[in-house]
Amino acid sequence: MKKTLPILGGIIITSFYFFPFEFSFLPGINTKMALAGIGLVLLGLNLGRSRESLFRKDITIASLLAGAVSLIGFIATIYNNTTDYSYASYLISMWVWLSGAYVVILFLKWIHGCITPQLVCNYLIAVCTIQCIIAISMEFNDSLKFFVDGFLGGEGFMGKNEGRLYGIGAALDVAGSRFATMLIAIAFFCSRPDLYIQSNRQILLYLIAFFIILLIGNMMARTTIIGGVIAIAYYICNAIFRRKRGLHNYKIGWWLIGCSFLTIIVVSYLYLTNPVIEKHVRFAFEGFFSLAETGQWEVQSNNQLLHHWDAIPQEFRTWMIGDGYFQAHKTDPYYLGPVWGDFYHSTDVGYWRFIYYFGLIGLLAFSAFLCYVTYACSKNHPTFKLLCWLILITNFIIWAKVSTDLFLVFALLLVIPKEPNDTIVPQQIPVSD
């Protein structure tokens, strides 16, 4: 019990950070903002006592690049005479994430006595798994759904009107993109069992988490499948091309095959016997069902995505400095142009939304910022270098579908102190004995 309660607290704090939400009784302030406020206080106290500071060279450079993104966003709004300051305040957003990450890292370090990227990822994996379990459980338990809906604010974000599964702050593509990163993390750890795996129990926990996140996460947001494809491709390539293959690699491979067959059998049975599961499975794997039933790959969201890609900017000025709109134009009381859907020019494609907001100049600055923080994280933790770059690649792929960034993952890695010689301290998924 002494170990269970702190770990449970760590999972809750990590979830507050990774999937922030507003309490219905405290609108306007989400859990990320609350953690950021606590983080600034703790940072000030620690700076006064031990000279500990987040103002290291790498974070300073990252802040300057985030400041450049903010400045370009501000210039775009002023030049285009709009009131959309979405990315004009990105520097503040960066430090909100960093401050929140600081609280998470301090809390986890207090629980375990040390902190490593793998330990942090294990908590994130646990959070994603629990969010998926909560989401599917609410479909079958009205009491749980009523309880969660009773304190959960921000209903518009939760995708309730679309009939989607949702967790506590986890829904739509925001959840899907974060699920995707943890699927890749699991594949990364399982591909090097000599470094990151300590027991058969840990292998089993990783594989259970992988299939829960892949299946239920895909029911919540099909963006999850991007991480699943990258994770499986990475694991297969690593198994084929890595020169040194121990017995652990073959063991994990057979376990993976066994879990895959077992998952297919269980999901198939539930699909045939439960109409709720049938609905969500058909949504999650709509393309496969379409291919089997009609001979063509048809996915509604993909068709919508193709339509969104048609919104190509037409003016040279837009390509350079944008039109100054990122949010829906209806949020601007002075807007007099054409009326579109929920987004400017009716597109949710990340690349187009960034170009329409602050042009290629802003898009390149934002990309440079993410590339630098990836470089900084990989330099501080060299053995996790490949994982960092895979997450960045995932971010750029997701931009082809939706405009969300994964800096919150890098923020956690930036806050973790650089280990001498990058010493690896393998950590298991946080569960009680």
Write the DSSP assignment of 325-365 as a string of letters.
Answer: --S-GGG-TT--S---SSSGGG---HHHHHHHHHHHHHHHH
The mean pLDDT of 406-422, rounded to a whole number, is: 82
**Consecutive H or E run containing 422:** none
- The per-residue pLDDT for range 291-344, each reduced to its tens digit, is 666 666 666 666 666 666 667 888 888 899 988 888 766 666 555 566 556 677
CA distance 287 to 297: 5
**0.85 exceeded by the pTM?**
yes
Residue recorded with tokens 């009205």:
142
More confident: 196 or 92 = 92
- Long-range contacts of 263-271, Cβ-Cβ distance < 8 Å, separation of 24 or more: 263/211, 263/215, 267/215
Closest listed residue to residue 365, CA positions, set 58, 60, 57, 72: 72
The mean pLDDT of 1-26, rounded to a whole number, is: 86
- The per-residue pLDDT for range 158-204, each reduced to its tens digit, is 555 566 788 888 888 888 999 999 999 999 998 877 777 777 788 88
CA 320 vs CA 79, 86, 389, 397: distances in Å: 12, 18, 28, 22
pLDDT at 338: 62
Instruction: Locate the domains of the chain by residue range.
Output: 4-260+304-422
Instruction: Classify residue 296 by its DSSP letter.
Output: S
Confidence of residue 430 (pLDDT cuts 50, 70, 90): low
Residue 424 backbone dihedrals phi, psi, to 5 degrees: -90, 125
Instruction: Classify residue 222 by its DSSP letter.
Output: T
Complete DSSP assignment for 20-37: --BBTTSTT-BHHHHHHH
- Return the sign of the alpha-carbon dihedral for residues 119, 125, 129, 135: positive
Confidence of residue 250 (pLDDT cuts 50, 70, 90): low
Please determine, for residue 423, whether its predicted confidence score (pLDDT) is greater than 50. Answer: no
